[in-house]
Amino acid sequence: MASHSGSPVYSRITGTGSYLPPERLTNADLAARLAAAGVETSDEWIVERTGIHARHFAAPDVSCSDLALEAAKNALQSAGLQASSIDLIILATSTPDMVFPSSACILQNKLGIAGCPAFDIQAVCSGFVYALTVADAMIKAGTATKALVIGAEVFSRILDFSDRTTCVLFGDGAGAVVLEASSTPGILATDLHADGKHVGILCVPGHVSGGKVIGDALLKMDGQAVFKLAVGVLESSARATLAKANMTDADIDWLIPHQANIRIMQSTAKKLKLPLEKLIVTVDQHGNTSAASIPLALDASVRSGKIKKGDTLMLEGVGGGFTWGAVLLTY
Ligand code: ACO
| Ligand 1 neighbourhood includes 174 CB (under 6 angstroms) | no
Domains 3-182 and 187-330 share a fold: yes
Contacts of 243 (CB under 8 A, 6+ apart): none
Q: Residue 297 above 70 pLDDT? A: yes
Kindly report the CATH number that applies to the domain delimited by 187-330: 3.40.47.10
Catalytic: 288? yes
Catalytic: 167? no
Inter-CA distances, 112 with 68, 105, 109, 202, 221, Å? 14, 11, 5, 36, 38
Q: Which residue of 41, 167, 222, 226 sits with most ligand 1 atoms within 8 Å of its CB, as the best mutation to test the pocket? A: 226
Kindly report the CATH number that applies to the domain delimited by 3-182: 3.40.47.10
Chain segment 11-51, per-residue pLDDT in tens? 999 999 999 999 999 999 999 999 999 999 999 999 999 99
Average pLDDT over residues 263-268: 96
Chain segment 104-149, per-residue pLDDT in tens? 999 999 999 999 999 999 999 999 999 999 999 999 999 999 999 9
Per domain, the residue ranges of the chain are: 3-182, 187-330
Q: How far apart are CA 298 and CA 176, in angstroms?
A: 9
> Which of 116, 258, 261, 286 is flagged as catalytic?
258
> Which of 116, 125, 167, 286 is flagged as catalytic?
125
Using the mean position of ligand 1's atoms as its centre, give its distance from the Cα of residue 165 in Å. 5
pLDDT category, 7, cuts 50, 70, 90?
A: low
Atom of ligand 1 nearest to the CA of 219: 51
Using the mean position of ligand 1's atoms as its centre, give its distance from the Cα of residue 253 in Å. 31
